[in-house]
Amino acid sequence: MPAPETAAPAKLKYAERPEWADVEPLQQYEIANPLAPILYSEEYKDATDYLRGIVKAGERSERVLELTEHVIRLNPAHYSAWQYRYETLVALSAPLDVELKLMDEFADKHLKTYQVWHHRRLLLLLTRKPAPELALIARILQRDEKNYHTWAHRQWLLAFFNEPSLWEGELDFVDTMMNKDVRNNSVWHHRFFVVFQSGVREGEEDRERILKRELIYVKQNISLAPNNASAWNYLRGVLEHTRQPFGSLAAFVQPYTVPLPASTTDIVDLENPPPGRDADLPCAAAIEFLADVYEERGGADNVDKAVELWRSLANEHDTIRKKYWEWRIREALATSS
């Protein structure tokens, strides 16, 4: 853990500063010996004593902004300091561009903290200027490609403001991130959000075409790295969302369920891109998919084929999930008999 930073090094404690003399600092505990106390630094204790004093007095002033910034720098998860800061900014009609600039720095330093992102959101609800935000988010995601809050923030921004210009570059952004790491599940989720879950935008009305585009996209990515759970989950998600039978993909999936053939053909089949030469086959996700195809088709013969595949997962290809595959077998047999 990095050492706590100081907003103003070598600055006097609040207790020693005449301009704070009118504030009565408030100790945290009134009881004598709290159990399991945190052993704070002197600086933190001093600053939070004054924060408690300010909150009790209900003061809204410039110096409250200084104090809350100080506390937040020492502990960015101090949600009460954030809350009080936000209310003070509003009460003072403080310049929000200045605050956002400060927040750019915080987003870089404390990108894993809920409050940093939520405070930005509150500010954006006031400024109503979402456009510059996308570039900042993209920059943060270059550094921390799977940051949950950052992705959720981007999705909120797009969905809430819902301006065509904001959505314009989104699929290109997905591609950029996907090219860095095709196994980044956050990127796959973002693609699903953009394509299927946020309404139909201009130019995307032909859903047949969109479905075809997405299937080609995911199949090519599976061909690139077959044992990528994110891609298979996306494929399943697309089919379920658009109510397409899994069976429509059987021809594509089949070659992934068996060992790699000794010689591969060089025919380029865009509909059914084959596994690459370095693929680790058979691929458990493909076997699972094919079993689902058989189960979907129904009838005793097909269920038998599905059971055989599940058994190969349980006993050979995916033994950690043995119990689950055996349950799938029992369920399928119970419903088919």
Partner 1 sequence: MAPTTTMKPIPTDGFPTPTSSAQAETVKVLLEHFVAESSVPNLQKNAHMQFLMRNLSQGFPQRYTSQDASQPWLMYWTLQAFSVLQVGLDPGNKQNAIDTIMASQHPDGGFGGGPKQAAHLLPTYASVCALAIAGRPGAGGGWDQINRDQMYKFFMSLKQPDGSFLVAHHSEVDVRGIYCLLVVATMLDIITPELVEGTAEFIASCQTYEGGFSSASQPYYAPSNSDKPTLLGSPRPALGEAHGGYTFCALASWVLLQPFLPSTSTKINKKALVRWLVQMQGAPVELGGFKGRTNKLVDGCYSWWVGGAFGLLESVGIDPAAVSSSVRSDTQAEDGDWDDVDDSLLNRKALQEYILFAGQHPAGGLRDKPPKPADSYHTLYCLAGLSSAQHRVFPSAARRRDLLDSWTDTVDGGDQEAEAKENALRKRIFVEALSYTQEEGTETVVGGAVNRVNATHPIFNLTITHSDAMMAHFYGQVLPPRTLQRPAQT
Question: Within positions 228 to 247, which residues make up the interface with partner 1, using CB under 8 A?
Answer: 228-230, 233-234, 236-238, 240-241
Shortest distance in whole angstroms from residue 32 CB to partner 1: 9
Shortest distance in whole angstroms from residue 176 CB to partner 1: 14
Q: Which is nearer to partner 1, 18 or 325 (CB)?
A: 325
Residues 4-23 that bind partner 1 (CB under 8 A): 4
Amino acid identity of residue 2, one-letter, is: P
From the list 129-137, 207-215, 265-273, 275-283, the region that binds partner 1 by CB under 8 A is: 275-283
Residues 155-194 that bind partner 1 (CB under 8 A): 155-156, 159-160, 180-186, 188-189, 192-193
Q: Is there binding between residue 95 and partner 1 (CB under 8 A)?
A: no
23, 25, 46, 48: which one contacts partner 1 (CB under 8 A)? 48
17, 129, 139, 330: which one contacts partner 1 (CB under 8 A)? 330
Which residue in 313, 334, 337, 308 sits closest to 325, CA to CA? 313
Q: Is there binding between residue 253 and partner 1 (CB under 8 A)?
A: no
21, 24, 28, 98: which one contacts partner 1 (CB under 8 A)? 28
Which residue in 131, 94, 100, 135 sits closest to 117, CA to CA? 100
Q: How far apart are CA 72 and CA 21, in angstroms?
A: 22
Q: Cα dist. 134→199, 288, 330 in Å?
A: 19, 38, 49
Q: Is 93 left (phi over 0), alpha (psi -120 to 50) or beta?
A: left
Q: Which is nearer to partner 1, 75 or 176 (CB)?
A: 75
Per-residue tokens: 257: 């369920």
Q: Is there binding between residue 37 and partner 1 (CB under 8 A)?
A: yes
**CB count in 10 Å sphere of residue 261:** 11
Query: Following DSSP, what letter does each residue of 289-329 receive, concatenated?
Result: HHHHHHHHH-SHHHHHHHHHHHHHIIIII-GGGHHHHHHHH
Active site residues: 112
Q: How far apart are CA 190 and CA 148, in angstroms?
A: 11
Q: Which is nearer to partner 1, 176 or 233 (CB)?
A: 233
